[in-house]
Amino acid sequence: MATLSWEQVKAHNTEAEAWIVLHGSVYNATPFLEDHPGGRDLILDLAGQDATEVFEEAAHSSDARDILPGLLVGSLKEYNKEVPTSQSLIGRTAEAHKKSSGGLTASWTTLLPTVLSLVAFAWFMGARSNRPDGHGDGGGGSAQSGSDHSWTAQLQHLGSVGGAVASANPVWASLVAVLLLSVWGFGVFISYVIYVDYGRLDKYPARTRLE
């Protein structure tokens, strides 16, 4: 690949030879001028110059970037500017978004309800088997002790009702459990799809600006 100097780049500032510099590489934009969705003038105004910042500010898509290799002339001899691509900005924006939501990343939002339900289930089962009477799970418990109105007693009661249903009709109980799990899984899946889609700003028009 040809190594070019700034003098050479600056000399190619006409419509017939409109060279622009992007991230230290030199491109001849002339064949693409008429096809540029942002208009030919935007590129022509920058002919013979470094267009990296404005190019990235316009958040060009990966489709736009795929055009570049076909226009490549060479690389600039000296170029030490580090301009992040809007593609990497998108990655960082998604990352920052994750952090700003209190560390509740996609995997946590998936894991947390699972862990909590498992803990609650284990606790219910434990509480149920530790009941002093051990019988009458279906409706018993309302007159067990003075603490029955506390939330823990209510939860234990709920657990014992669940346990009674499960032992009375395990097939039905498993079907309900599977149904609930599927609804929950579908919810997690949909929120994840929305999240990932949201993070992919490159899918939207180039005029989308990154904050």
Task: Tell me the CA distances in angstroms from 146 to 29, 66, 124, 157, 204, one per residue in order.
Answer: 83, 73, 20, 14, 62
Q: How far is the CB of 63 from ligand HEM (least distance, A)?
A: 5
Of 4, 29, 44, 76, which one interacts with ligand HEM (CB under 6 A)? 29
Q: How far is the CB of 194 from ligand HEM (least distance, A)?
A: 23
Amino acid at position 92, single letter: R
Q: How far is the CB of 25 from ligand HEM (least distance, A)?
A: 10
Buried residues in 6-16 as b, exposed as e (16+ CB within 10 A): bebbeebbeee
* Closer CB to ligand HEM, 71 or 89, in the complex: 71
Q: Work out whether 131 is an interface residue with ligand HEM (CB under 6 A).
A: no
* Closer CB to ligand HEM, 70 or 185, in the complex: 70
**Cα–Cα–Cα angle for 131, 136, 141, rounded to 5 degrees:** 60
Q: Work out whether 20 is an interface residue with ligand HEM (CB under 6 A).
A: yes
Q: Work out whether 93 is an interface residue with ligand HEM (CB under 6 A).
A: no
Q: Work out whether 47 is an interface residue with ligand HEM (CB under 6 A).
A: no
Q: Return the residue nearest ligand HEM (CB atom).
A: 38
* Angstrom distance (rounded) from CA 153 to CA 68: 68
Residues in contact with ligand HEM by CB under 6 A are: 20, 27, 29, 32, 36-38, 42-43, 46, 51, 54-55, 58, 60-61, 63-64, 67-68, 71, 205-207
